[in-house]
Structure 1
Amino acid sequence: MELRFNESLFRTIFDNVYNGIYVVDGEGRTLLVNKTFEMMSGFTNEELAGKTLYDLVHHYKYFSGAASLLVLERKKPATITYKTKTGKNLLVKGRPILNDKNEIELIINTIWDLTVIKYNDVLDKDTARDSYLKEEGFIAASEKMTEVIDTVLKLSNTSTTILLTGETGVGKSVVAEMVHRTSRRKNNKFLKINCGAIPESLIESELFGYEPGAFTGADKKGKIGIFESADKGTVFLDEISELPLSAQSKLLLFLQDKEFFKIGGRKPIKTDTRIIAATNKNLWELVKSGKFREDLYYRLNVIPINVPALRERTEDIPVLAKYFLNKFNQHYHAYKYFSKELLETFQSFNWPGNVRELENVIERLILLAPNQELTTEDFYRIQQKRKIVPKKSLQNMLDKFEYEILVQAKKEHVTTRKIAKSLGISQPKVVRLLKKHSLN
């Protein structure tokens, strides 16, 4: 009798938590899902139970990916977003449960529904490309990115202002969208504005709007600004460092009082709009040089989130690389794969363009590499054309110089014995070096 009570209590709790729950065993086989996940995904427990995540992703194509497969591969927690066959977009955090032998017994997946999101008109091509498309997949296996996602989820039901910092290409816009999609505002608008892409003369009218006849050339009907249009939603101000000082003062007033005046207007307009700002520059240095308001800096910097550079989270590199490989293989109907040495090269590379650069490099490799296997030689040849150099440590520079010498020597000499003679080293050492650089 007590056992039935415990099972009943467990099931009540399991089926009524806010998040979806998906439990698999150590072989990736679905054990059970809760009612919340059934409602989120459009699939029932009966449809999923007993099936492996590999089959659900690759055979049945119920899901475009699975955190559990990544957890099984790495034996570490992982976070990804994926789409379901029913059109849902979900964020999943998978956590392994290990036994005494350090083997995975269970994987507990916690799921958030990111599906509902609306966009309004956009102001430039970059914004349009980022907004409408695409719903790119998010994948993270590193501790640093896991911390970023944990922070995002903690803030999901608040309205606090967030400042995202990090280099170009690290994924700040992806994180901003995730903040919105995991919040109670997700049914309302998410508007992204690139502050550096709008002429200074137009930025105030775009953000705050204007009254009819406010200035020469103004629309006779006036205009609703971004902040008013996004009431109860989120505005993402990318490249906030490029915002002119005149607009900075009006933004400060809005952040303080949640109200603003249209250009030419005398009546304050109140809106409940959340602000997320992002920059790849040091705002404090701009404050000290008089190019950014100090009081606005403190208003924006309520919750700072630094999105780490790719070279600072090397655990994510092979995971992201394989994701992009699968993506472009499908897109171009290709069947290419990485050599082991190439994945190692990826992890030692500096990636000045971060995730965006990694994605572009893999697309070029699939399009330009002559063979099915993608090698380090292919990578360096493509990078040389792009005039991008690897991490500027002495060892990396020596390795690249060594690689180039070996490539030239292979062109001039047929055998490893002749290569050794030309370079003044032993033949076994030539063999080792060729293997090291995937030239054997």
Structure 2
Amino acid sequence: MDRELLEIVFDNVDNGIYLTDGNGVTIRVNRTFEEMSGIRNEELAGKSLRQLVAEGYFTGSASLLVLERRAPATVTYSTRTNRKLLVKGKPIFGADGEIRYVVNTIWDLTVVDYNREVDSDTARDQLLVEEDVIACSAPMMQVIDLALRVAGTDSTILLTGESGVGKSLVARMIHRTSERKAGPLMHINCAAIPESLIESELFGYEPGAFTGADRKGKRGLFEMAEGGTVFLDEISELPLHLQSKLLGVIQDKAFFRVGGRQLRSVDVRLVAATNKDLARMVAEGRFREDLYYRLNVVPLYIPPLRERCEDIPPLVGYFLERFNRKYRKYKRFSAKLMAALERLPWRGNIRELENFVERAVVTSSADEVALEVLPMGGTKGGLAEGMALKGALAEFEKQILLEAESRYRTTRGVAAALGISQASAARKLKQIKENGGLLDG
């Protein structure tokens, strides 16, 4: 194959390509990457990715993680041109066993547009969350590979796995790499909305449909997601009488608003998620069998963090950088602490790990965070030695608040989940972050 043909192929594939040598020095990027990133090859060739990250060209690098872990890795990062990219890096080994090259394949995750008819809290929660994918373990790489393969289809996807493993993150990645990325991604947690309201939230209502209804009626999330993706989190909590209505939407791409007689067509892609065993719920009569099979077209199981310990060090590094920047700290974890973190069960998965890193950053007095930061019995439910009841209760309350903030993102969501006022949630979270992670009541 001649060089001209290779050049044609290199510059005309749909994905971006970023090629480095075994030291992380940029060899070349293709034309697609230039278009995705808004950065030309001439600016990058010959420069180390360490230098490029330090200079703010990129917020992260798959190549550097590949070189550090000596294994394939997937990360997302932002560019200085405000583009969001997903990168899969693969090491190419020489006969001597050393890495000669790293080949990176890139997808553009940049949000082109989003629906502005939702309030600011909802928009921030649903559409503007910019969590990053960080993975180098074989189980998680398999999840990402399958997610990217099915993203380009309109097949319904069912994400399963324990709470906190990253199901929402995978759902967003699927939407961002699909042909529907220019459309909205509407995310609704079926467990967070009262049963009396969830039908009108999903399907909307006509004027006068019920007492207190808006005189103009209201569009539901399915209508607002036209041309995009509906992500139904905690699908197991959807009431039985609405499961049949959802089945009709999947089969016929049409539905009635609450109180309506006009059949409304909708063009959306459905992604659902649950941490429950839906097959068992079907056997127990708590979930419709026909809906289960309609949802389970492409099942995607996301393993718990304890089954992919290789992901813990890069995740800790990512969270450390994020919280150091947020709180203007310069914390680092000791080698002994890092080794201990890889052995812990992390029952709350990535969410628990994230909360632990934030807690360590805001509470530790030393720049190097040592093993002593771990409470007795691990990271969940344990008490530090000598901790009085008042201190133990304050620590427990703090963990609950930080975990709720991580999950629900807004003080309104935290307040609803914990049964407290929004003012109280905002005050307590502000107190935690301003007082070095302490709650004084």
Query: Shared topology, TM-score over 0.5?
Result: yes
Matched residue SS, 1:220? coil
Which shifted more, 360-369 or 182-191?
360-369
Deviation of the 1:106 alpha carbon: 0.5
Show the counterpart of 2:139.
Answer: 144
Whole-Å Cα distance in 2 between the matches of residues 87 and 124 of structure 1? 21
Deviation of the 1:266 alpha carbon: 2.1
* 1:120–1:191 contact (8 Å) kept in structure 2: no
Deviation of the 1:381 alpha carbon: 6.0
* 2:206–2:259 contact (8 Å) kept in structure 1: yes
Show the counterpart of 2:25.
Answer: 29
Whole-Å Cα distance in 1 between the matches of residues 116 and 307 of structure 2? 35
Whole-Å Cα distance in 1 between the matches of residues 293 and 118 of structure 2? 28
TM-superposition CA deviations, 1:344-403 (whole Å, max 9, x none): 11111010111011011011111111212111111236957x6249xxxxxxxxxx9xxx
TM-superposition CA deviations, 1:275-321 (whole Å, max 9, x none): 10011111122212222111111111111101110001000011101
Show the counterpart of 1:436.
Answer: none
Identity of aligned residues (%): 57
Show the counterpart of 1:254.
Answer: 249
Over alpha carbons, which structure has the higher Rg?
A: 1
Deviation of the 1:267 alpha carbon: 2.4
Show the counterpart of 2:437.
Answer: none
In the alignment, structure 1 residue 155 sits paired with structure 2 residue 156: no
* 1:122–1:191 contact (8 Å) kept in structure 2: no
Which shifted more, 267-276 or 101-110?
267-276
TM-superposition CA deviations, 1:131-189 (whole Å, max 9, x none): 25431111000011101110111112100100001111111000000000000000001
In the alignment, structure 1 residue 194 sits paired with structure 2 residue 189: yes
Distance 1:286 1:124, change over 3 A: farther
Whole-Å Cα distance in 1 between the matches of residues 167 and 129 of structure 2? 15
In the alignment, structure 1 residue 324 sits paired with structure 2 residue 319: yes
Whole-Å Cα distance in 2 between the matches of residues 382 and 284 of structure 1? 34
Residues 19-418 of structure 1: pairs in structure 2 closer than 5 A? 19-58=15-54, 60-117=55-112, 118-121=114-117, 130-380=125-375, 387-388=381-382
* 2:375–2:382 contact (8 Å) kept in structure 1: no
- AA in 2 matched with 1:289: E
Matched residue SS, 1:71? helix
Whole-Å Cα distance in 1 between the matches of residues 43 and 22 of structure 2? 20
Which shifted more, 258-267 or 178-187?
258-267
TM-superposition CA deviations, 1:174-210 (whole Å, max 9, x none): 0000000000000001000011111111111111112
Whole-Å Cα distance in 2 between the matches of residues 297 and 34 of structure 1? 43
Whole-Å Cα distance in 1 between the matches of residues 203 and 119 of structure 2? 14
Show the counterpart of 2:409.
Answer: none
Whole-Å Cα distance in 2 between the matches of residues 387 and 121 of structure 1? 41
In the alignment, structure 1 residue 13 sits paired with structure 2 residue 9: yes
Whole-Å Cα distance in 1 between the matches of residues 18 and 101 of structure 2? 10
Whole-Å Cα distance in 2 between the matches of residues 295 and 61 of structure 1? 51
Show the counterpart of 1:411.
Answer: none
Deviation of the 1:8 alpha carbon: 1.3
* 1:230–1:273 contact (8 Å) kept in structure 2: yes
Which shifted more, 133-142 or 352-361?
133-142
Whole-Å Cα distance in 1 between the matches of residues 365 and 279 of structure 2? 48
- AA in 2 matched with 1:213: G
Deviation of the 1:265 alpha carbon: 2.0
* 2:344–2:378 contact (8 Å) kept in structure 1: no
- Structure 2 residues without counterparts, runs of 5 or longer: 387-441
Query: When the two structures are aligned, how many residues end up with a matched partner?
Result: 385
Whole-Å Cα distance in 1 between the matches of residues 201 and 106 of structure 2? 36
Q: TM-score when scaled to structure 2? A: 0.84
- AA in 2 matched with 1:54: R
* 2:183–2:225 contact (8 Å) kept in structure 1: yes
Matched residue SS, 1:69? helix
Deviation of the 1:264 alpha carbon: 2.1
* 2:109–2:177 contact (8 Å) kept in structure 1: yes
* 1:124–1:197 contact (8 Å) kept in structure 2: no
Deviation of the 1:94 alpha carbon: 0.2
Whole-Å Cα distance in 1 between the matches of residues 140 and 196 of structure 2? 38
Whole-Å Cα distance in 2 between the matches of residues 300 and 167 of structure 1? 18
- Structure 1 residues without counterparts, runs of 5 or longer: 390-399, 406-440
Matched residue SS, 1:269? strand
* 2:86–2:108 contact (8 Å) kept in structure 1: yes
CA RMSD of aligned residues (A): 2.0
